[in-house]
Amino acid sequence: MKLARDTWLIFQRQLQLLLRNPVWVFVGVFQPVMYLLLFAPLLKPALNAPTQAEAYKIFVPGLLVLLAIFGGLFQGFGLIAELRAGVIERSRVTPVSRLALLLGRSLRDVVSLIVQAVIITLLALLFDLRVSLVDLLLAYLMLALIALMTSAVSYGIALKVKSEDALAPLMNTVAQPVLLLSGILLPLTFAPGWLQGIAEWNPFSWAVDGTRALFAGELGDDKVWQGLGIIAILAAAGVFWAARQFARSVR
């Protein structure tokens, strides 16, 4: 009860600050929109897809997962600014739940991601992408879990390193291989065996596969629950770890 109340309190505050400056939601969506408009048209011939719509069914889920991963991973920067302003320390002197300090922030990130995902989906609909509502909502659940995990991890790392200078290269180093090994831009079915073997160990590759299955309308596909399950477990672990960083002494 206290956790829910405190989380809502922090969430409201964070959302209010975001809405005061909503331009960041659109800055975040700018890059994926560019991919959608300028890169996706190459895919029909490249993927040998029968129609443009088929190509989008493969590409858009990958793009959304990409958005969720990156959107989450870079939230730590905002937290470092809060650390510096003393806002985190001020919160830690109160009896407010430490888990709520994290969850309130991460849930704000999830909401902002879903708004961005809706923008991308609506644009893709203009390009003849078709997906059933149930499949789409499940795909959004997957995205929400991914964003929850990556933003929590990003906050946890931000509390550990405490400086933008250390956070930026660290996040890029993590994100690059994760991105390339998840078949986000092109499906890994094109990859040589060794590369597929490595990608098996990348949870985001499972998430991308699951999301693609949903966009293909294959709700019963094992990949859907496997992807959701793996990401849900990792999100829970990420939240647990990051909340402990909030409870530990940080300046």
Partner 1 sequence: MIETRGLRKSFRSREGRQTKTVDAVRGVDLKVTEGEIFGFLGPNGAGKTTTLRMLATLIEPDGGEATVAGADLRKDPAEVRRRIGYVAQGGSTWDESTAREELVLHARMYGIGKADAHRRAARALDAFQLTEYADRKCKTYSGGQRRRVEIALGIIHEPQIVFLDEPTSGLDPQSRAHMWEEIRRLRADGMTVFITTHYLEEADALCDRIAIMDHGEVVAEGTPAELKREISGDVVLVGLDAAATAQAARLLDGEPYVNKLESVEEGGLRLYVDEGATAIPQILRRVDTADLGLSSIELHRPSLDDVFLTKTGRSLRES
User: Which residues contribute to the site for partner 1 (CB under 8 A)?
Assistant: 2, 6, 9, 13, 16-17, 20-21, 82, 85-87, 89-96, 249
**Choice between 14 and 106, CB closer to partner 1:** 14
- Name the minimum Å distance from CB 250 to partner 1: 9
Which tokens hold the place of 56?
């989008």
Q: For residue 151, which amino acid is it?
A: S
**Choice between 20 and 27, CB closer to partner 1:** 20
**Choice between 6 and 209, CB closer to partner 1:** 6
Q: What is the DSSP string of 17-63?
A: HHHHSTHHHHHHHHHHHHIIIIIGGGHHHHHT-SSHHHHHHHHHHHH
**Choice between 26 and 39, CB closer to partner 1:** 26
Which tokens hold the place of 242?
């990051």
Contact status, residue 172 vs residue 73, Cβ threshold 8 Å: no
- Name the minimum Å distance from CB 76 to partner 1: 17
**Choice between 59 and 246, CB closer to partner 1:** 246
- Name the minimum Å distance from CB 164 to partner 1: 16
Q: Tokens 């443009």, residue?
A: 52
Contact status, residue 231 vs residue 145, Cβ threshold 8 Å: yes
- Name the minimum Å distance from CB 10 to partner 1: 8
CB neighbours (10 Å) of residue 20? 7
- Name the minimum Å distance from CB 248 to partner 1: 9
